Each structure stands twice: as structure tokens, then as C-alpha cells.
Amino acid sequence: MQTLYDRPDLYDVIAPHDPTLEAFYLSRARERGGRVLDLACGSGRLSIPLARAGFKVTAADLSGAMLQRARQAAAGVEVEFAELDMRDFDLPGRTFETIIVAMNSILHVQSLEDFRGFFQSVARHLAPCGRLAFDAFVPSVALLGSSPEQRHPVGDGVHEALGRVSVDETIRYDPLTQINHVDWYWSTAAEKDFWRTPMQMRQIFPQEMPLLIASGGMRLVERLGTSTSARSRRGVTGRFASARRHSSGRPRSAPRLLARSDQLRRGGQSEACPPSSARLGTALCAFAYPTIRTVS
């Protein structure tokens, strides 16, 4: 059976240009400057704006079809592409000031072994003082507990040939593996459910994230609560909050509410790099808080 990533043209309908997501990762890259590795880059939605902003970008993905789409979209922009599995990869001799894994793509990493392999691979490719930044939504226990027959709306958009396309999903959650077995149903006005795509998404609860990160020898240094997109597939709306942690693990200050993503640090200045960060790869994670909608 085909997966979502075999049809990048349809992926792009449901995951269009997202200025908030773009601003978030641009500001993260500006903190360190230099080279960026965009893991699970998809069709290049972030790699291309990062390259246009002057970063030296390597865009990597497991899917040849997504990479092909990204290559076409990047015409005239300097981006290096690599086909790899982020759970265990080696780009010999290469390091990056920033490595990003955007739009919940880390949920494609599922077993503990795979998380270890992923974070170890990332750590090997971080320059001294380099930073991993990624986002993941906070699992909704209400959603995970809903009936497998219940349909939930994911989103819609306009496809160049098919016109308006909408997507619903059903979910079946396995609480032991914490893997959510999702099916997406694609419809147009002319044809309901013309395509079904299965997907497995590991649900990562906030308190386990530092442990998963540590399993690969890295350290969580900053955690943000954020809405990556008002149009996100979980129907997220919200504000930005940031709680920075010292190596002691204690918050320096209470979480701050920031009204807009562009209030996050931006503008080319590198953050001071504490000696502990230079030795140990560090990670930053943005969590999005979901709301649930159902299809009647």
C-alpha cells in the first residue's frame, strides 16, 4: 500500500507553506549560523527558505519521491540533498551548527533502539555548540481514547489537478508501543475516499522526551510550548511559551507567554555556548498542544 510520502503533490496540499513554522526554524538556525541539516525534509518546505536566507543547507529524507519533489522546488537555490534514514545515518566528515526535524517528523522514530540510533546519529553530526531543534505535538489522551470508527478532520487544500481535496482520519492507538495507527482518507467533491494512506505515529509524552534524548547521549536544554500552525492537522491554536533549562535541569524562570513567534530570538547573533553544551549535543523541542475535532 502506498504511503502519504509516495504522493508529494498531495502531501503539499495538506502541508502548504507555513510562515509560522518557517519563522520558528529560521530563528533557530540564526542562533547558531552556518550549516543546517534538515532531516526528514519532505518536499523542501523549510530547506529552501533556509537556503534562501543564506544558510548552507543539506536536506535529507528517506523518501525518494519527496526528495525528487524538493529537488524540483529548489531549482536555482543551492541545497544539497541526501537520501538517508534518520534512525541511523552517516554523512562522513560532515557536521552542522543546526540540525532540524520539523513538523512532527520525529514521530516516525518509534522503538527505543531507533531513538537511540537517531539521537546518536544527530550527536555525531553536530558541530561543537551545535543544536538540534525539533517539534512534536503533545498527545491528546482524549483523541487516543476515541473510537477507531470515529473520523476526525485533518485538513483540506487545493490540488492543481484535483481541485479541493479534504482529509479525514481514523486512529487506533496501541498503548503498549505508544504507536498510533492512523489512516488518512482523501476525498474530492467528485470522489469520497479516493485514497487511503496508513501511517504509524509514535506518541511522545513530554516527560519521556528528555529520557529519549539522553538515550542518544544528548541533553534537552530548552522546551517551548508552541502552536506551530493555526492550520495544523490537529487544529492547534495557541501561544508561545518558553522555559529554558540550565544543565541542573531547573528552569531559569517561569514559562513566559510570548504572543507571537517572531518574539523568539532572531537576528544573527549566536547565543553564548556554555562549555557543557560544547561537549554534549543539545536539543530543543517545541511541543504543540492539540485540540480535537470530530467529523459528524
Among candidate residues 17, 217, 264, the one with its CA nearest the CA of residue 117: 217
Site for ligand SAM (CB under 6 A): which residue of 30, 31, 42, 261? Answer: 42
Q: Does 58 bind ligand SAM (CB under 6 A)?
A: no
Site for ligand SAM (CB under 6 A): which residue of 85, 183, 222, 262? Answer: 85
Provide the sign of the torsion angle of the four alpha carbons 186, 147, 290, 32, taken in this order: negative
The residue of the chain with the least Cβ separation from ligand SAM equals 42
Measured between its terminal Cα atoms, the distance across the chain in Å is 28
Quick one: 5 or 185, whose CB is closer to ligand SAM?
5
Smallest separation, CB 246 to ligand SAM (Å): 30
8-state DSSP, 251: B
| Candidates 61-69, 208-216, 226-234, 276-284; binding stretch for ligand SAM (CB under 6 A) | 61-69
Among candidate residues 209, 171, 208, 168, the one with its CA nearest the CA of residue 192: 168
Quick one: 86 or 204, whose CB is closer to ligand SAM?
86
User: What does the alpha-carbon distance between residue 111 and residue 248 come to, in Å, rounded to a whole number?
Assistant: 28
User: What does the alpha-carbon distance between residue 80 and residue 69 come to, in Å, rounded to a whole number?
Assistant: 14
Site for ligand SAM in 91-150 (CB under 6 A): 102-105, 108
| 3-class SS of residue 73 | helix
- What would the grid cell of residue 236 be? 492547534
User: What does the alpha-carbon distance between residue 131 and residue 118 come to, in Å, rounded to a whole number?
Assistant: 14
Site for ligand SAM (CB under 6 A): which residue of 48, 55, 58, 63? Answer: 63
| Candidates 57-65, 188-196, 216-224, 255-263; binding stretch for ligand SAM (CB under 6 A) | 57-65
Question: Is residue 13 within 8 Å of residue 34, measured between CB atoms?
Answer: no
- What would the grid cell of residue 280 be? 554534549
Site for ligand SAM (CB under 6 A): which residue of 31, 61, 97, 169? Answer: 61
Q: Does 5 bind ligand SAM (CB under 6 A)?
A: yes
Quick one: 62 or 127, whose CB is closer to ligand SAM?
62
> With CB under 6 A, what is the number of residues at the site for ligand SAM?
19
Question: In Å, how far are 48, 102, 173, 206, 290 from 227, measured between CA atoms?
Answer: 22, 13, 23, 15, 9
Residues near ligand SAM (CB under 6 A) are: 5, 15, 40-42, 45-46, 61-63, 66, 85-87, 102-105, 108
